[in-house]
Amino acid sequence: MTKDKTLATVEVQGVAVAPEVADFFKSNADVGSNNLGGSIPQLKVTEANSQNEMQDGQYAPAGTLYYMPTKETFEAVDVSIITTSRGFYALDNQKEPKPKFTQLVGGMLLDSMQPFVMFMSGTRLQGLWDFGKEIKPFTKSKASPIPMFAIKVTIMPRRVTTSFGTNHVVDFKVSKKDGNIMVVNDIDMLTLLRNGAEQLEDTFESFIKLKEVDRVTGKPLHGSDEPTPIRSTDEADLNDIFPPEE
């Protein structure tokens, strides 16, 4: 009796995947993670002074994630982290704007298949960097690498107290089952995420060129006459990256 090849699986770091998925992982292992160390479909952390309006007209409670396109809130959400931008300095949106080190995170909400972008700066950067360290053994494995975008991740705000008061940082928790990481195990979905990584990186770089300033003087680095702070209303069309399903 001939064995059905469609049922064959191989093990990649403790995870059973189809052979073509294992090959895909290996050839795309570095995609999206090299910079770790629309309207923009922004996923934001709600603070006490935020005015993130929900669908019912009420403001989102502090400590929740707020998805701007749909006005939904989450205490935690499962995602694929598709790519991160290089670090750059941009003016914050204070009354007297100052250069602030920033990175952009692009991903997809796994339940709804909707893209998102997060702006990471200040105390929120550490969670991103810790995530980069955690996944490095998987993305850099010589024997059986797994690209960052294939790893399922739960992101959630966590309340912290700093010298400036109380706010929220973001934890990136790698999803696991029986001690093994959970991955996207569908070649069509993986291809969508892979294509999104390439286009998001181009979009991020274009956005950075509009916002990037000298870390000391605050002067624009790419020819703008006046520096433009990063604001929650910044928009860039990402529909061509994740076209709506037919």
* H or E stretch at 73: strand 72-74
Written as six digits, the tokens of 176 are: 């696991």
Q: Output b/e per residue, 138-174; b: 16+ Cβ within 10 A.
A: bbeeeebbbbbbbbbbbbbbeeeeeeeeebbbbbbee
Spans of all domains in the chain: 21-211
Identify the pLDDT of residue 206.
86
Q: Could you report how far apart the first and last alpha carbons of the chain are, in Å?
A: 40
Identify the pLDDT of residue 8.
79
Identify the pLDDT of residue 22.
80
> Which residues have C-beta within 8 Å of that of residue 229, sequence separation ≥ 6?
90, 91, 92, 93, 97, 211
Report residues of the chain scoring pLDDT below 70: 1-7, 29-39, 224-246
Taking CA atoms, 39 is separated from 66, 125, 179, in Å, by 15, 24, 38
Identify the pLDDT of residue 237.
36
Q: Do 210 and 222 meet the contact criterion of CB atoms below 8 Å apart?
A: yes
Identify the pLDDT of residue 59.
93
Identify the pLDDT of residue 31.
59
Q: Do 175 and 154 meet the contact criterion of CB atoms below 8 Å apart?
A: yes
pLDDT one-digit tens code per residue, 133-186: 999 999 999 999 999 999 999 999 999 987 778 889 999 999 999 999 999 999
| 204 SS3 class | helix
DSSP type of residue 85: P
β-pair type (99-109, 77-84)? antiparallel
Written as six digits, the tokens of 239 are: 């529909």
Whole-angstrom distance, CA of residue 177 vs CA of residue 175: 7
Of 104, 45, 90, 88, residue with least CA distance to 230:
90
The pTM of the full predicted model, rounded to 2 decimals, is 0.77
